[in-house]
A and B are shown apart, each in its own frame.
Chain A
């Protein structure tokens, strides 16, 4: 088999999470107005401060225009044609414990490799499973509670810990932040909430698994993680969706806060349905993720492996407020077929001696378009700060594209910023070398790509590093030219 032909074959992708769960849903009518916002808030039985916040967001949203500066192309979104809330109908009073979760839902998550039974494959990981607009189960809650860690759905946090929610919600990503974050603030339905008390090292990995199931539904979830002084948590999110011909909007917001000496490690393995080879269907993944290193010597690190979505548009960022705080961004973004990604990070240095590292690996195959866009801003107050940025692009074939757009602003003279960038191609030479040693072309490509991404994968929690590698290989199946 000739190498180019193999590359072609390797990039025709198969998406194995594309099934649909038949389940009765409790949905609000299509469309968006103030009533929709009130209805969502009422369904969740929210306290007054939440409704007010949502309404402020909604009213602000009406004054905003959808941004067009990003390097992605898509037809206009009809915001009145989206269902903003859809939840699987509870059978009876709703599950009191994991055993009572609707078997249909449990099967869905089993099929996705996310068992909702404790002590199984992911025995060291607590999972919050979000299905369309709501969280259906959270595992290991009791074990975590013993350590003082709060890990629950956002809805539950609003009911049980309103003072924490009120204090931190919107404190990193204000409701007026940007078009999609503002929309999310108005209509978000659920998500995960984590609170790690002072001095506690969270005894297990926390994770949220997002599943979009319903048709014509947008998913708007919100995650809030607070790490008090001297605490540590590692958090991971994963996502999949059925194969549908129509595009679906996913506009999430994630807010992280670290106080003195605290650390949050946030990892994402994003595998939303990418659409088919001709670019029909797939998820629009328009997400705002931001962390605030409020405390001295605190640290936030983002690691993302983005293989899914028709369009990925997100910039997980860190605001380095505390002196000596550290921000990291490690990213693998793969675009295949007609996928587009415009992703990167923002590192905003405010405190003294703050440090940030950006490591971005973009892989383009098929007709995929991959843009790294990043901002490093070192403010006047951030004396003695440092940034190191490395952006590498790998092209598989000749019809795809890689773009790098770094923005650098340095407002003092005691800081250093370094930027390195490279673009390479998996060449026939590399493939032939592997094949001459007995390795099939398919394995050779997957090996080269994994090698290219290895520095990022090693930042992922162990269980997920393996998953990410497999995911990358699957995503490249049939995709190289």
Chain B
């Protein structure tokens, strides 16, 4: 493969009548960690969902090449098979479905589609236990239903645990730091850092600079009103923290004279 792992060109997307992504351009190379910041409603989470294949949003223009292939043409589960993973901002509860059973089903679905051998319950358990250590999850997680009754912090740790097991090439972390206290944030950040690798790209979406103190990004992008309005290194994140998003926000357009006619 030549070129970056992910190349987004002029991506536009809308939900109902509202255009939310208004021309995104972004390139992320293997081994890189890119942070996407921006005020609420700037389109950060929409970008993550569109990349993961959520059909609530319709793509109205542009293209996304992932490892050279047209990502937008794939259904969500095929994107997962191709190595795209999204850590959800609000992980979903699935009552009655065991956490590990769920994850083994996912892993085996992916392995099967890739023509790899499926893991049996015993092998999987041994493998999963290793990965659980990355986010300091104890045995009690194994017996519980997917995210059911999990605290906010446990849900986010569970997302990173799933990422560790599924071993994606492109990981999109959608506000994984939101709702975490400082201890949980550290645990999650350590998990993420341990998964940094030369053949994996990560997009870390966050509202605050805080997470980036632990997960140090190679690049920082700032989104506003559906576009990336500034890019830089991690200094940009610090600058934003100091000055706020007003630094990058477009001034509201002055009303055009005579428009009322």
**A and B from one complex:** yes
Do B80 and A435 touch across chains, with their CB atoms under 8 A apart? yes
Report the separation of the CA atoms of residues A452 and B105 in the bound assembly, to the nearest whole angstrom.
17
Give A430 to B145 CA distance when docked, in angstroms.
13
What per-residue 1/0 map shows which CB atoms of A43-79 lie under 8 Å from chain B?
Answer: 0000000000000000000000000000000000000
CB neighbours of A443 from chain B (8 A): 105, 109
Chain B neighbourhood of A421, CB < 8 A: none
Q: Count of A residues near B, CB < 8 Å? A: 26
Residues of B close to A447: CB separation below 8 A: 94, 97, 102, 105
Q: How far is the CB of A416 from the nearest CB of chain B, in Å?
A: 25
B52 CB contact (under 8 Å) in A1, A2, A436 = A436
A451:B86 contact, CB within 8 angstroms: no
Q: Could you tell me if A455 and B96 are in contact, using CB atoms closer than 8 angstroms?
A: yes
A439 touches B109 (CB 8 A): yes
Chain B residue numbers with a CB within 8 Å of A435 are 53, 75-77, 80
Main DSSP-derived SS at the A contact region: helix
Contact A438 B96, beta carbon cutoff 8 Å: no
CB neighbours of A437 from chain B (8 A): 80, 102-103, 106, 109, 162, 166
Given known contacts A443-B105, A448-B94, A436 and B145 CB-to-CB distance under 8 angstroms: no
- Give A9 to B39 CA distance when docked, in angstroms: 40
Residue A278 interfacial (CB < 8 Å): no
Q: Is B81 at the interface (CB under 8 A from chain A)? A: yes
Q: Are B91 and A433 in contact (CB under 8 A)?
A: yes
Q: Does A107 touch B at the CB level, under 8 Å?
A: no
Taking a contact as CB atoms under 8 Å apart, the answer to whether B88 and A433 are in contact is yes
Total residues of chain B contacting the partner, CB 8 A: 32
Q: Return the chain B residue nearest A457 by Cβ.
A: B96
**Contact assessment for B109 and A451 in the assembled complex, using a CB-CB cutoff below 8 Å:** no
Give the residues from 40 to 73 in chain B that come closer than 8 angstroms, CB to CB, to chain A: 52-56
Q: Which residues of B contact A455 (CB under 8 A)?
A: 96
Q: How many whole Å from B171's CB to the nearest CB in chain A?
A: 12
Q: In the complex, what residues of B have CB within 8 A of residue A452's CB?
A: 95-96
Q: Taking A428-B56, A433-B88 as contacts, is the C-beta distance between A439 and B94 under 8 angstroms?
A: no
Determine if B97 and A448 form an interchain contact, defined as CB atoms under 8 angstroms apart. yes
The answer to whether B53 touches A436, judged by C-beta atoms less than 8 angstroms apart, is: yes
* Residues in A neighbouring B53, C-beta threshold 8 A: 435-436
A378 to B178, CA, bound (A): 50
What's the least CB distance linking B191 to chain A, in Å? 17
User: A109 within 8 Å of B by Cβ?
Assistant: no
A443 to B102, CA, bound (A): 11
A469 to B84, CA, bound (A): 30
A437 and B163 CA atoms in complex are apart in Å by 9
Assess the A451–B95 pair: CB atoms within 8 A: yes
* The residue from B55, B79, B88, B103 contacting A2, defined by CB atoms under 8 A apart: B55
Q: Does A464 sit at the interface, judged by CB under 8 A?
A: no
Q: Is A256's CB within 8 Å of the partner chain B?
A: no
Q: Does A226 contact B (CB under 8 A)?
A: no
B148 and chain A: residue at smallest CB distance: A451
Does B76 contact A432, Cβ atoms closer than 8 Å?
A: yes
Q: Is B113 an interface residue (CB 8 A)?
A: yes
Cα A272 to Cα B107 with chains together (Å)? 36
20 other A-B residue contacts (CB within 8 Å) besides A437-B166, A439-B109: A429-B92, A432-B52, A433-B91, A434-B106, A435-B75, A436-B77, A436-B80, A437-B109, A438-B81, A438-B109, A438-B110, A438-B113, A439-B105, A440-B77, A441-B77, A443-B109, A450-B97, A451-B95, A451-B97, A454-B97
Instruction: Return 10 A-B CB contacts under 8 Å, by A number.
Output: A3-B55, A427-B92, A434-B106, A435-B53, A437-B80, A438-B81, A440-B77, A452-B95, A452-B96, A454-B97
B interface with A by C-beta (< 8 Å): 52-56, 75-77, 79-81, 85-86, 88, 90-92, 94-97, 102-103, 105-107, 109-110, 113, 145, 162, 166
Using a CB–CB cutoff of 8 Å, the interface residues on chain A facing chain B are 1-3, 427-430, 432-441, 443, 447-448, 450-455
Query: 10 closest pairs, A vs B, by CB?
Result: A451-B96, A438-B80, A451-B97, A437-B106, A438-B110, A454-B96, A435-B76, A433-B92, A2-B55, A438-B109
